[in-house]
Structure 1
Amino acid sequence: MIIKIYEELAEKLELKKQQAIFDKEIELCKEQLQEREAANLNIRKLKHDIENHLMCIREYAVRKEFEGAIDYIDDILNGENYLKNNSEINTGNIVVDTLLNYKKSVMEKSDIKLNLRIEIPQKLRFNDADICVILGNCLDNSIEAVCKLDDVSKREVNVDLVYRKKGLLIRISNPFSGDIKKDTNGNLVTTKADKENHGMGLCSVKNAVSKYNGAMNISTDNSMFKVQILLY
């Protein structure tokens, strides 16, 4: 009787041991899967942002500011259609000038008016690659939304860049048509067919903003879509 009880206890202990090993293996598999998903997400983000990065790097090269180009590439490596030499917008900040001049040329092809208010120094204390990601993706979203407006006279994008007390305010707004869809957490839901790769834009923006413990607010009012970002 005692031997039988001992054998049953030993069997239960062995089962618990095997279950613990199995649970550990499952946990390791989950961690590996999460790491792989994170790596794939970073790759998709980089592919999404590569055009804007290449534009900025090319502008550094055109201006023969090779050290700036190297620093910019290092920023990308350490973090996670080419531009014509158009300097109509000239704030002195290469990244901002490059992006705004390029996006302005894109807007002009679709009869979109760009309204600017820029009060920034030549050199911001924020990572150039992050500024590129934030501005590039937000402007891409605005251009896409405004292009859907049938009334060409309403096609405009408003951009405010204001630097005060070591903080940068980025405010971008544009009219839109249709409905804005959000999920249960209040996040915007893409209406594009390629849902896996689209939506990477705002995700990249949020990640860049979070590096500086910044704040990002998206709102709609009277058919105006507004994005306001604060970097500290």
Structure 2
Amino acid sequence: MLLAVVYAALYGFLYLFEQRRATAARLTITTAAMLMAVVMAVTVFAVSNLSFVSNGEATMSVFYIRTLVDFAGVLILSVQHEQLRENALHSELTAMDNVLRRQYEQYKQSKENIRLINRRYHELKMQIAAIRAERDQAKQDAALAEMESGIRKYEAENKTGNPVLDTLLTAKSLYCQQHGINMTCVADGRLLDFLSTGEVCTIVGTALDNATESVSAEPDPEKRLIRVAIYAQNGFVMLRFENYCASPVELAADGLPKRSAHGGYDLKSVRAAAENHGGTLTLHWENEWFTLRVLLLQK
């Protein structure tokens, strides 16, 4: 009974201690780490019982030695567990940093592309003016129709009041036009002025990447639909991203999608960015529509 009580108390304390230190990072237990833990546990158990073999009887010194060795064993296993936790956290932070860097690089590339597009846009306008001076009406009409058709492809620039958001939305609008995706957007970009460039890229860029990746797999072009809305609501800023998705999205234990077109792992960076501003990330699938909501405190 004493043995049962002691072990129950010890394991109960360790359980509560670990629950308080629980982390969202999933530990990866390799075969080598498991074997090392087993070897250490067996070694500690064997060393703690050597005194019984040598003395043949239980004395207080034997109990002291055994208790000391057992505590040392628990400490060694705890250190190993802490190392595994730190490695898991480091891997997760590295992955989130890679997402942030990728989104920021996309933003810089998109900004440069839009600058070149705008320059070409003005060049085409000048060419149209020259064509209008053409005396041959048939040639004039044909050239104008061709050039104006080309110009319309580049008139997807969004004006939301936030230059970073404008760049991201314009780049995605152009991508959607090229891949037969219908994206509609109603956004007040000024509401995101309190976010850094990296945070806007992480939240908006990642959400749009996942949405475009999902609808791109849809065989019916009429169902390649994305809706974006950014607005104020009761003292909060709501960022809402919706896309058509015929198949239900399976969520993992952490509430994020498993590895799929909706980027389960990448959304951890979006959740972290939202939580940095006292916000939340929620996901929902219903009636063949997948919805990602980011709620932030309005500042």
For 1:47 and 1:92, locate their aligned partners in 2 and report how far apart those are by CA, in whole Å. Answer: 28
Q: Secondary structure at the match of 2:103?
A: helix
Q: Do structure 1's residue 170 and structure 2's residue 239 form an aligned pair?
A: yes
Aligned to 2:203: 134
Which residue of 2 is the match for residue 16 of structure 1?
Answer: 67
Looking at structure 1, the residues matched to 58 and 222 of structure 2 have their Cα atoms a distance apart, in angstroms, of 85
Is 1:47 paired with 2:116?
A: no
Kindly provide the CA deviation profile for residues 15-53 of structure 1, in whole angstroms up to 9, marking residues without a partner as x. Answer: 111111221122122112211221111112222332211
Partner of 1:161: 230
Alignment of 1:59-208 (within 5 A): 83-85=113-115, 88-121=157-190, 124-163=193-232, 167-183=236-252, 186-191=255-260, 199-208=264-273
Q: Secondary structure at the match of 2:293?
A: strand
TM-score (norm 1): 0.77
Which secondary structure state, in structure 2, belongs to the residue aligned with residue 178 of structure 1? coil
1:123–1:161 distance in 2 versus 1, CA, 3 Å: closer
- Alpha-carbon distance in 2 for matches of 1:127, 1:166: 20
CA distance in 2, matches of 1:207, 1:122: 19
How far off its partner does 1:166 sit?
5.6
Instruction: Give CA deviations for 1:101-136 in whole Å, capped at 9, x if unaligned.
Output: 122222222111110101232861123322211111
Name which structure has the greater RCO, CA cutoff 8 Å, separation 6+.
1
| Residue matched to 1:29 | 80
Distance of aligned partners of 1:47 and 1:183 in 2 relative to their CA distance in 1, 3 Å threshold: closer
**Native 8 Å contact 1:209 1:231 kept in 2:** yes
- In structure 2, relative to structure 1, the CA distance for the partners of 1:122 and 1:204 (3 Å cut) is closer
What's the C-alpha RMSD, in Å, of the aligned pairs?
A: 2.6
> SS at 1:189's partner residue?
coil
Counterpart residue number, 1:74: none
Structure with greater proportional helix content = 2
Sort the Cα spacing of 1:149 and 1:7 in 2 relative to 1 into closer, same or farther, 3 A. Answer: closer
Shift of 1:171: 0.5
Question: Which SS does the other structure have where 2:238 is aligned?
Answer: strand
Instruction: Measure how far apart 1:94 and its partner are.
Output: 2.0
Gaps of 5+ in 2: 1-54, 119-156
CA distance in structure 1 between the aligned counterparts of 2:201 and 2:184, rounded to whole angstroms: 19
Mark the runs of 5 or more structure 1 residues left unpaired by the alignment.
63-81, 193-197
Q: Deviations over 1:47-90 (max 9, x none)?
A: 2332211233467xx7xxxxxxxxxxxxxxxxxxx744257112
Identity of aligned residues (%): 20
Partners of 2:208 and 2:256 lie apart in 1 by 19
Aligned position for 1:77: none
Q: Check whether the contact 1:181–1:190 (CA below 8 A) recurs between aligned residues.
A: no
Larger Cα-atom Rg: 2
Report the CA distance between 1:143 and its aligned residue.
0.5
- Output the amino acid matched with 1:167: F
For these two proteins, the number of residue pairs brought into alignment is: 203
Flag as ranges the 4+ runs of structure 1 deviating above 3 A: 4-7, 55-59, 163-166, 183-187
Give the superposition deviation at 1:147. Answer: 0.8
State the distance in 1 between where 2:281 and 2:172 align: 22
How many angstroms does 1:164 deviate by?
5.4
SS in structure 1 opposite 2:59? helix
Taking structure 1 as reference, are residues 218 and 28 closer, same or farther at Cα in structure 2, changes over 3 Å only?
same
What secondary structure, in the 3-state scheme, does the structure 2 residue paired with 1:180 have?
coil
Q: Aligned pair in 2 of structure 1 residues 52, 191: CA closer, same or farther (>3 Å)?
A: closer
